[in-house]
Amino acid sequence: MTVLDDIVAGVVADLDERRKQTPLADVIDRARAAQPARAFDLDADFGVIAEVKRKSPSRGDLANIPDPGTLAGLYAAGGARAISVLTEQRRFSGSLADLDSVRAAVDIPVLRKDFMVDEYQFYEARAHGADLVLLIVAALSPAQLSEFHALAGELGMTALVETHNAEELAIASDLKAPLIGVNTRNLKDLSVDTNRFAPLAELAPAECTLVAESGVAGAADVSGYAKSGADLVLVGEALVTGGDAEAAVAEFTATGRKHRARAAS
């Protein structure tokens, strides 16, 4: 069993427990009653998706975040384009309560970052105010990916389609996903190699908005990604451990805009 398989198994088990407490029909009603999802501007200048991240499978505990909303406010003040909120609890110590806290604190788009493998989670995401959701190509069959991408759109949310290699990038391209991520983390051993990004970026559709994921320790990494074709970077660990989240988001944004290889639409 791979690390991804193990994580997904835990996600499914936790989902089953939530489903027992709240039937799908009730979650759908809550999703429909929620405020409309905020649009994510795919054509804006280079930006940062700043992540609320307490823990990771590769590094363990990263930061004590008693109030995710306060941290999200700092990210927004620094110019973040969106806030990513990890809601997976077993490996990342996240929760839907974190999503609620962030949603209440900021007006910019919020991404529910989780291992989305069931329609229940999409209605759940919308019910809790998510504007974006993550779709990991490696975790889904082509049929599931297509179905969930369409469902996200029907609910007004933007899907970030995450890829790790050329084969997955081709699948995302065939899906005509407008927002594609290239994660430089190897899902088998959790190692990160930022050099994986550039050759994959060359294969990405010119019309998509491209997100570089993982491996940002500082401005130099943002510069490298921007020069290689990234339109956005998704950053978590460097922000929650760096000491000044607002300043870091502002620095990463300015660096990316200075070195961005692809002009904003």
The residues annotated with a catalytic role in the active site are 51, 53, 113, 162, 183, 213-214
Helix (H, G, I), strand (E, B) or coil at 150: helix
For residue 191 the two structure tokens come to 């190692």
76, 42 Cβ separation under 8 angstroms? no
CA 69 to mean position of chain CA atoms: 17
Query: Which is nearest to 4 in space by CA: 185, 181, 133, 152?
Result: 185
Pairing type for strands 132-136 and 110-113 reads parallel
Give the chain's end-to-end CA distance (angstroms, integer). Answer: 42
The CA distance from 208 to 210, in Å, is: 6
Exposure on the CB side of residue 38, measured as CA atoms within 13 A = 16
How much of the chain is in helix, strand and coil states, percent to nearest 5? 45, 15, 35
Question: Which helix (DSSP H) or strand (DSSP E) does residue 170 occupy?
Answer: helix 166-174
Cβ-based neighbour number of residue 79 at 10 Å: 17
